[in-house]
Amino acid sequence: MALTAQSIIQRAVQVLQDTTSVRWPVDELVRWLNDGQREIVLYRPDSNTKSATGTLAAGTRQDLTTMTGVSSLNPAKLLDITRNMASTSAKKAVRLISREILDAQTPDWHNKTQSVDVIHYMFDPRDPRAFYVYPPATSAAQLEIIFSAYPTDVAAPSGTDYTTVSGNISVADIFGNALLDYILYRAYTKDSEYAGNANRAIAHYTAFGNSLGIEIKGTLGNAPNMNVTYNPNNLANGQQPSTRA
């Protein structure tokens, strides 16, 4: 069951002891809820995961933001590619490989014969909404793609009371407490000139961060090349890619 935005805003006004929404207007709390959703997806791409069949563009480079079947779902970051999906394909699995290895072994791979069956895909975390495929795809090629999507904003309330807030949150329900902490962090930051509120703001953002496990491995751990131990920024220095067992 999807968690309603109204239930989170209700808890916020109760904690703030502002049930009449005078000091912190409800529309302001909803804006902070939307900000919190985006920040959660930033740190935890798995918080709003979608799967879709995407139709590829002819060639090697693919872009989620223009891909039929995917672009309308507001993709934010590629997480994984599982298999071929075209009706004329063999429906084989697709494996992640290092582009540097393919560049070294088959320098002209971008110019190979196009195929409806993709064998490998390559991903660079510096370009999170794009990937490359091998062999080059035909315009009929399709893949099952798993990706993180930008959250849909909760609409501005129609009135001044929390009961006028409608809609559900976009991130998974388990992040409801994190959203509440984010809203309270922003609320107490607004009133940080009052005694104790600055510390309350820090405490709520700390709770928000702890619930998400905010650290670099939390982001990199969801990348398609999560098992690759090399830093792509160090390849120019001669570091060779390797994989964990």
Strand arrangement, sheet containing 95-96 = 59-63, 130-137, 120-122, 95-96
Q: Report the alpha-carbon distance of residue 9 to residue 23 in Å, rounded.
A: 14
Q: Which of 84, 168, 67 is nearest to 120 (CA)?
A: 84
- Over residues 168-218, the pLDDT tens digits come to 999 999 999 999 999 999 999 987 777 788 899 999 999 999 888 864 444
pTM of the full structure: 0.80
SS3 assignment, position 9 = helix
CB atoms inside a 10 Å sphere around CB 140: 15
Pairing verdict, β 120-122 and 95-96: parallel
Averaged pLDDT, 145-172: 95
CB atoms inside a 10 Å sphere around CB 59: 15
- Over residues 89-133, the pLDDT tens digits come to 999 999 999 999 999 999 999 999 999 999 999 999 999 999 999
Pairing verdict, β 75-84 and 142-149: antiparallel
Q: Where are the domains of the chain?
A: 5-45+153-219, 48-150+227-232
Segment among 4-8, 100-104, 140-144, 217-221 with least mean pLDDT: 217-221
Q: What is the pLDDT of residue 221?
A: 59
